[in-house]
Structure formats: C-alpha cells, structure tokens
Amino acid sequence: MRTLLWLLAIGLPLNGLAYTPDLSTLSGVPRLQLDAAQVQTALNSLNDDARHYAVAQSVDAGTESGNWTQGSDGLWHWRLRVVSSDAVSLAARIDALQLPEGAELWFYTSKGEDLQGPYSSSDNGELWTALVRSEEAVLDARMPDSARAAFAVHLAQVFHGYRSFSEAYPAKSAFGTSGACTVDVACPAGDGWRDEIRSTVLLTIGGTTLCSGNLINNTAQDNRALVLTANHCGLNALNVASSRAYFNVQKSACASGSEGSVKQNIAGRRLLASSASGTRSDYSLFELRSVPPGSYQVFYAGWDVSGVAPSSGVGISHPAGDDKKIAVFDSGAQAVSDLCVGSLVGATCTGFSIDAWAVRWTLGDTEGGSSGSGLWSQNHRIVGTLTTGNSACMGSVNNNGGTDYYARLDRAWTALSSTGSTLKQVLDANGSGCTNLAGRDAASNSSACASSASTASSSGASAAATSGGGGSAGGLLPLLGLLLLRRRRMN
C-alpha cells in the first residue's frame, strides 16, 4: 500500500492531492523554542499602534534543526516545530528555501489547523509564510526520497503574535476583538453589498503589521490581481514581498459562528503606485503573486474618481484585525481639504495631509486595522481609502458618533506617485479616460464604464486656515480629537 501511495505521489503533483498532517509522531520532532524573555522585551518596547499584531524574533535554524521521517503516505517528511509561549499566532520568514521539483512545504498548527501551503519550488529563495493561530506550529516539507538531497531551508525570523485574530483567544489589547457595535458582514446590513464584501481583504505586512484593502478592477478588466490600500500602512517596494492578502476572513453567520478561515491567502509581488509626499493622498496599489483561484470567489471592486461626494454607502473592513465587518452611513459625505494627520507644530503638520471624505456612521464603526479599506458610495464604487478617524463603539449597538476620514481617490488619480506610475496609469493603462468603473466577478463579462455615476452634490468644508492644515468637516472634529485618533491609529 505504501508503495502504491508513493507511486501516485510521484506521478501526480503533490498539491493535487489532499493533505492531512500526521500528528501522531510530532513528539519526536525537534522544537525551536523562542526565548520568552526576549519576546517580552520586544513587547515592552512597543507603542500603541493598533496596526501592529506581532513582534519579530531573529532565529538561526537550518535543515539540520529538523528531522526526517517517512510518512504513511510513502513520502519523506522534514519537520521542525516552532514554539513561542503565549503567542496567539505564529508566522515565519525563511531566507533561504530550496524546494526541488516534486517537493512541497506546509505550515500548520500542532493540532493540524490553519493548514498553509503548499509552497513549491516557485517559492524558492525568501518566503514569508502565512500565519497560523497557535503558540506552536510545524514546518513540514514532504517529498520523494530522490528529492531529499536537493532540499534545504533556513529559518531567519519567527513572528510572535500578541493580538488575536479571534474573540476565542485572550488578547493583550483589542486586536481581533473589535467593539461590540461592529456588524458582521453576514448580518442583514450586508445583504445589498455581497459583491463588495468579496473584494475586501485583510492584509499583513512584514509579519508584524495589518491593514485592510480591496481587490480592485481596472479598465482592461483582465483579472489582474491588484490590491488597493493606504500608503500609511507602510507598504513599499522593499517589503511588498512580505505582504499577504487574506480573503474571506469572516463569520458565516450574523454575530455567531466560528472564526473566519485564514487559509485563502496570496503574497504580494510588487508595488505599482503609491502616494508621493505632498500630494494630499493616502493610497498604495500593489500586485499579488498570482490571480486568486476560482475557489476564492473574489469580486474585483469598482471605483469612482469623478470627485462627486457619495450621498450614502458603507465601509467594509477588518477592524482590530477581526472578522470582516460592515459600517453604514446614510447622510452625505463631506469634502475636507488639507486635513493634517499627525501633530501640528505651529502651522506645520508633522505627519501628512490629505483631502478627504468625512463620514459619520449610522451603524457600526471602524477601528485600528481598518486602515486602507475602501469607502463605498451608494453606486457601489470605491471613492476613498480609510486614513484615520475617531469612530468607536459606545455599547453593543451604538457608536460614539465620531467621524472617519477617507483619503479621496479622485485626488490620488493623477497625483505624483512614489513609483513614477500614477494610479490612473495603472488602473486605466489603456487610456480609456474612464472615471467610473463598475466592479465585476472574475468570470463575468466586462463591466460598464461611465464618466460619472453620482448625482449627489460635492459640497464640503475646507480646513480652517488657523489650523495650519489640520481641519474639520464643518466643525465635526476638533483638533484635539484628531490628535487623539492619531495616537490610536497612526503611531
């Protein structure tokens, strides 16, 4: 029987076969234990940035750190257990991976959950794994005996997650346990936005930082895997390969059910466009390493850069890194010019400034981790990316009436980009002149383009001159409130 399984394995791609890890022999697998004192030192040095969920720990573990066993599948397995006490999630950076053809690498919890992979020879070199939610994980490379001599691995960093992706885990702070007034996308509030919900992703960057974003359509409508998020999330040309987009992380039922799966994810490939200094925009557009497979059932978000204020709409995000949530506004967004995100020193903004759409939610809110998510107009188009705000829950149903600010997409459209390519040059590469593009399913026909799709007025308030660039939406947010919310989201 073992010979038959081995013949099947070498005759078929390994990732074409379902894989169930053998946990019965884990006790004999070597353990790489992170130093708890060093982890605590790293935790003590953290600021209160709600986008951070993990701390990095340097390690030095090569092929010799694990061991080989032959599994019941007839293949040879190289395995290494990675342990960090009290971690709520673990991820790893492998700086030298050599998987021969016919080999694959998996990463999963010691209970066989959150099965990440298979990674293949196309991932050779540097690999940033997806996360698993446990204090103990297993690296498991499996291959035919003939491939063993060509296999090599070196583990350089492990990321100790200290904030949870689930209410089922104790969290150091409110990460993964968003406020009680947040609304699961499975609830009735999401019924009119099922497509847009499918475009929203949870992002991790550098193994330590999270944001939200959206898979976004382009005028070529070619299913190119483009993700739009906020520039302040920290994505750049050097770390984009460390980013990972997680799809469909959401509960299946309203206010109940198990935590969303993190198995559907794709790594970042390259940064295409991003806000340049002084452009009063806050966006990054990057490409994933592969097109999402059909099983992900993704939706490519539509967008509107006409500059017309939405009269109503929603925000969809991962507040505090939690399962996907929806917030609703039913009064028109206000335009705010030259809003200072940061501190004012005299008349100088020490952070950066944006032109924004200001909204107040009638249902739900956003929180740290929501940064980069899209603001959707009543026409089901993204018109901005979340930069900052002071909305919060004030109980199980109501929010605090605070205001959130989304950097305007129309202001970013032709603005100078740090990469040299503007947002327009990437999303409208064929030069169609489209300013309003509908979203679409991956397998659907091309969606409609219009020059404008909203009839709402674009009235708004500019920042007061005395604020030195920081301002308010018709007096909605005092400067003090802005500084407080900077501490919650932007540090």
- Which residue in 52, 160, 232, 380 is the catalytic one? 232
Burial of 437 (0-12, 13-18, 19+ CB in 10 A): buried
Question: b/e map of 311-324 (b: 16 or more CB within 10 Å)?
Answer: bbbbbbbbbbbbbb
- Which residue in 110, 371, 373, 417 is the catalytic one? 371
Q: Contact, 230 vs 282, CB < 8 A? A: yes
- Which residue in 282, 304, 322, 365 is the catalytic one? 282
Burial of 353 (0-12, 13-18, 19+ CB in 10 A): buried
Vertex 204 angle, CA 373 and 22, to 5°:
130
State yes or no: is 371 an active-site residue. yes
The distance of Cα 333 from the centroid of its chain, to the nearest Å, equals: 25
Q: Taking Cα atoms as reference points, which of 394, 406, 320, 390 lies closest to residue 355?
A: 406
State yes or no: is 282 an active-site residue. yes
State yes or no: is 52 an active-site residue. no
Per DSSP, the three-state class of 38 is helix
Cis amide linkage into residue 293, ω under 30° from 0: no
Backbone angles phi, psi at 139, to 5 degrees: -90, 125
The distance of Cα 95 from the centroid of its chain, to the nearest Å, equals: 22
Active-site residue list: 232, 282, 371
